[in-house]
Every structure is written in structure tokens, then in C-alpha cells.
């Protein structure tokens, strides 16, 4: 496509990281519109404050680690402020779990041997689509283990993959183990930005907001897409906004919706594409940020319902909080549970969940008993796509376009902001014919910027 050719018209379905990244890449070379169901932009990059000048709390994405190079590039492009933090050690779920298990020497040795096995797999670069890597579940590869070691890997898998060990492949475990997180291979040279582990000032939702602002009037929020179908000159997107039905037309469409929602709004897709999208399953997660006031402030926060005993409402460590001094300014502590625990409390009332979270939080921080000012509750039905056995072989079908309909999202790679942003960038390039469509899965690390 030459710069003096007519601009293509593009509608992006979904205003999460993948959709916004795609629109950002297209903005100067295409007439692009982003359609988003929620009232905010950013998808799981969602933040709120209880008071205008109070601490922010994240309801989804928390931290931008040192390997999120494309995310930082986007943040800098739209003037999003990032602050380096010193919390990297608490994010190492493996170490947290290992220290908290209090296992005997014998079980620790078994765990070390299992880790050595996994790192040996990472040291031998080979085709990711091999059945020994792609078709084999991590649970099967682990084999019979002592209960405490098995529990370690289940906790680790829930924490990083939002899935049980039987629900992810060995290849997925290789992608997530250690400090790689974007490549399965220990010999990969990983790009890293210069900020180290960092957070978005004002909450991760600020990145979504600023990406949306950079697109000016090209983002339409509170618009629920009902159907996208082929039309005379491309595609017709039908939906509702505030109870009013509205249509958009475009010569190109980029679908940045979760796979199950894509199937709902694109019922006419060929069977090979529908089967590929149907193979993607999601783990739920539930986020409950906890706001506390400064020292000396007495809160009357109470919960109207009791919680259930013996149920996990929050991870016990509460390792992340806003960076200002809690005694002087108050703080928001991040709290969440992954798929297994989230499903157990999914149907509980918000008040019952708040009660359970409050009890768990005060077991860790009893000094805050009279300083809790609020607890949020956000359920993410499509929390993170599970990197299931067979995903590598399915990846070419997942990323492949159908005529002028393209796809992006975190189900095309390791489920994180970086891979979502790269999938959006690659979808934009495919629309413009700049580079061939290429699966994020199947090569080491993030593709060059």
C-alpha cells in the first residue's frame, strides 16, 4: 500500500490492549473506528479511585515487567507515565509458594529435580509443534509426585497460567517458567526496556484511557456489537448503544474480542475458523482491590453479609500495593484469585465476597482493622485464555484472516499485555499489507519492533 493510496476503512471490534494497539498502528494510515462494549477503554487495563485525590486500584492488569517492550513503547507514545518499582521479588510466585509450603527435605529435593527437568527441556531448542511439547499436558509430564510438590505446581500454574496443570501444555509451562515469560528457550536473547518492573501512575487503566485519547473521536464506548456480517462493500457491524440500534460499515474488520464472543458475533465464519476459535477456553479470575485510609483515619466500613468458611477469597500474601506511604496517604492493596478459587465464589454476592476478602486481609494486616474504606469486586469471565495442549498447532488457524477480516488478542500467544499488544500490531500490518500474518506462538520471544 502506497502512502498516497486511498485509506482503507477499518472497524476494530473490542477496545482492550489488542484492539487499541491495532488502532494505534492504523491511525495514521487508515480510517479506523474502535467499538467497545464497556464505558472504559483498555479491557482488563481497568482502574478506579474511591476519591478523586485518593489512591488508585487496579481491577485487572497490575504490573509492566521488564520484558513488556512493546507496551512501554505504546505508553511512551501516548504520554503515559510509568514508575519503576522494587517489587520484583514478590512476583516470583514459585519462590513465594516454595517458602510458604514448609515441606520436608525429601520433598524439596523432589521439587528441585522437577525444576531441573523443566529447565533441561528449556535448554533444548526444537519445533514447538512436536507432540512431546504441544500435545502433552504439563500434569502428564510432571507424573506422580508427592502431594506437597504437586500442590506447588498447581499453585504456580494457577498463578501464571490461570489454569490447572492438566489444562496447559508442557510447552506453555516452558514459556512461563523462570524469568523468561515470553520465550520457552533459556538461550533466547530477550528484549527488555530500560525501566525494569514498573507500574502506570494512576493505575493501569490510564494506559487504556490515553491510548483512546490518542485516537481522538475514533473510539465508541458502550457499544455492544451484536453481529458483524459481510456486506456489499465489505462488512456491516450491527449493535446497540444506549438501547439505540446502530450500524457501521467498513472494508476491513479486526476482531479483538475473546474467542467465544467472536463466535457469537461472526456466526458465518467457515468451519475451520470456528473450530479453531472454539478450541480456546478461558480461565476466570476475580479481582478485589482493598483501599485503606491513612493512619489516624477511622473507617466504618462494614459488610452486610457473612462469608463462607473454608473458602479462598484472596491470595494470602497481598504483595502489591500503591507505592505512596500508606500511613501518610492511604493505599490500595491489590487482591485477586485465579480460576480455581474464582469459580468457587463466582456466584456469591459481592457483599459476601467483600466479607471474605476483608477477613483474609486482616489476617495479614490486623493493624488496618479500622482503616479499610472500601473493597472492590470485579469478575472477569474471560480472564485469561488457557494455553491448552494443541495450541501451537492451532495457532496458524487462529491468526489466519478470513478475507478482509483479521484477528488479534491474547489467545494468540502467552496471555499477557505484551503479546496482546503485539497481536494488535501484527493485525494492523496485515490490514495494510505491510508484513505477512505470522503466529506469535512458534518463535522465540517477542518479534522485533
Read off the C-alpha cell for 307: 462469608
First-to-final CA distance of the chain: 20
In eight-state DSSP terms, residue 380 is E
* Mean pLDDT across 322-332: 90
- 384: three-class secondary structure by DSSP: strand
Confidence of residue 299 (pLDDT cuts 50, 70, 90): confident
Residue whose C-alpha is closest to residue 29's, from 223, 183, 182, 252: 252
Reported as a single tens digit per residue, the pLDDT across 51-88 is 888 899 999 998 898 889 999 999 999 999 999 987 54
Question: What confidence score (pLDDT) does residue 258 get?
Answer: 97
Alpha helices for 336-383 (secondary structure H): 339-345, 350-364
Across the strands, what pairs with 13?
35, 255
Statement: the pTM of the whole predicted model exceeds 0.85: yes
Answer for the pair 202, 165: CB distance below 8 angstroms, yes or no: no
Answer for the pair 33, 235: CB distance below 8 angstroms, yes or no: no
**Distance between CA 363 and CA 333 in Å, rounded?**
14
**Distance between CA 358 and CA 352 in Å, rounded?**
10
Reported as a single tens digit per residue, the pLDDT across 151-175 is 999 999 998 899 999 999 999 999 9
Read off the C-alpha cell for 165: 496443570
Answer for the pair 223, 246: CB distance below 8 angstroms, yes or no: yes
Which position has the grid cell 479470575? 285
CA 84 vs CA 40, 322, 352: distances in Å: 25, 12, 35
Left if phi > 0, otherwise alpha if psi is -120 to 50, otherwise beta: which for 226? alpha
Reported as a single tens digit per residue, the pLDDT across 115-126 is 999 999 999 999
Reported as a single tens digit per residue, the pLDDT across 221-239 is 999 999 999 998 899 999 9
Confidence of residue 1 (pLDDT cuts 50, 70, 90): very low
CA 376 vs CA 245, 321, 327, 328: distances in Å: 32, 14, 21, 22
Q: Give me the chain's average pLDDT, please.
A: 89
Read off the C-alpha cell for 21: 494497539
Secondary structure (H, E, C), 265-321: HCCCCCHHHHHHHHCCCEEEEEECCEEECCCCCCCCCCCCCCCCCCCCCCCCCCCCE
Question: What confidence score (pLDDT) does residue 180 get?
Answer: 62
* Mean pLDDT across 335-358: 96
In eight-state DSSP terms, residue 231 is E
Question: What confidence score (pLDDT) does residue 90 get?
Answer: 46
Which position has the grid cell 497460567? 161
Answer for the pair 303, 359: CB distance below 8 angstroms, yes or no: no
Amino acid at each position: 500500500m502506497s502512502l498516497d493510496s486511498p485509506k482503507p476503512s477499518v472497524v476494530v471490534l473490542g477496545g482492550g490492549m489488542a484492539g487499541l494497539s491495532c488502532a494505534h498502528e492504523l491511525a495514521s494510515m487508515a480510517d479506523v473506528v474502535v467499538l467497545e462494549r464497556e464505558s472504559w477503554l483498555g479491557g482488563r487495563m481497568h482502574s478506579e479511585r474511591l476519591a478523586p485525590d485518593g489512591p488508585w486500584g487496579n481491577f485487572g492488569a497490575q504490573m509492566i515487567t521488564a520484558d513488556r517492550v512493546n507496551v512501554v513503547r505504546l505508553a511512551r507514545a501516548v504520554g503515559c507515565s510509568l514508575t519503576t518499582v522494587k517489587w520484583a521479588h514478590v512476583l516470583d510466585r514459585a519462590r513465594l509458594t516454595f517458602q510458604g509450603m514448609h515441606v520436608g527435605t525429601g520433598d524439596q529435593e523432589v521439587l528441585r529435580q522437577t525444576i531441573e527437568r523443566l529447565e533441561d527441556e528449556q535448554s533444548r531448542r526444537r519445533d514447538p509443534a512436536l507432540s512431546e511439547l504441544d500435545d502433552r499436558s504439563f500434569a502428564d509430564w510432571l507424573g506422580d509426585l508427592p502431594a506437597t510438590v504437586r500442590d506447588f505446581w498447581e499453585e504456580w500454574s494457577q498463578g501464571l497460567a490461570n489454569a490447572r496443570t492438566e489444562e496447559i501444555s508442557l510447552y506453555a509451562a516452558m514459556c512461563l517458567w523462570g524469568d523468561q515469560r515470553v520465550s520457552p528457550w533459556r538461550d533466547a536473547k530477550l528484549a527488555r526496556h530500560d525501566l525494569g518492573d514498573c507500574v502506570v501512575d494512576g493505575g493501569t487503566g490510564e494506559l487504556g484511557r490515553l491510548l483512546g485519547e490518542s485516537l481522538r473521536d475514533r473510539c465508541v464506548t458502550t457499544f455492544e456489537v451484536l453481529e458483524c456480517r459481510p456486506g456489499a462493500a465489505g462488512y456491516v457491524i450491527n449493535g446497540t448503544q444506549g438501547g439505540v440500534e446502530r450500524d457501521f460499515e467498513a472494508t476491513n474488520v479486526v476482531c479483538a474480542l475473546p474467542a467465544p464472543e467472536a463466535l457469537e458475533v461472526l456466526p458465518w465464519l467457515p468451519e475451520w475458523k470456528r473450530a479453531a476459535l472454539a478450541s480456546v477456553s478461558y480461565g476466570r479470575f476475580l479481582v478485589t482491590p482493598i483501599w485503606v485510609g491513612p493512619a489516624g483515619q477511622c473507617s466504618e466500613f462494614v459488610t452486610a453479609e457473612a462469608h463462607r468458611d473454608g473458602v479462598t477469597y484472596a491470595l494470602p500474601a497481598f504483595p502489591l500495593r500503591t507505592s505512596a506511604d500508606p500511613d501518610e496517604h492511604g493505599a490500595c492493596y491489590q487482591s485477586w484469585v485465579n480460576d480455581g478459587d474464582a469459580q468457587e465464589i463466582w456466584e456469591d454476592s459481592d457483599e459476601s465476597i467483600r466479607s471474605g476478602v476483608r477477613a483474609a486481609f486482616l489476617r495479614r494486616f490486623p493493624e488496618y482493622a479500622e482503616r479499610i474504606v472500601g473493597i472492590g469486586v470485579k469478575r472477569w469471565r474471560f480472564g485469561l485464555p488457557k494455553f491448552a495442549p494443541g495450541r501451537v498447532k492451532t495457532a496458524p488457524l487462529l491468526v489466519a484472516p478470513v478475507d478482509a477480516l483479521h484477528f488479534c488478542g491474547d489467545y494468540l500467544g502467552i496471555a499477557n499485555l505484551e503479546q496482546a499488544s503485539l497481536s494488535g500490531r501484527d493485525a494492523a500490518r496485515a490490514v495494510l499489507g505491510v508484513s505477512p500474518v505470522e503466529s506469535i506462538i512458534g518463535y522465540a520471544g517477542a518479534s522485533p519492533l
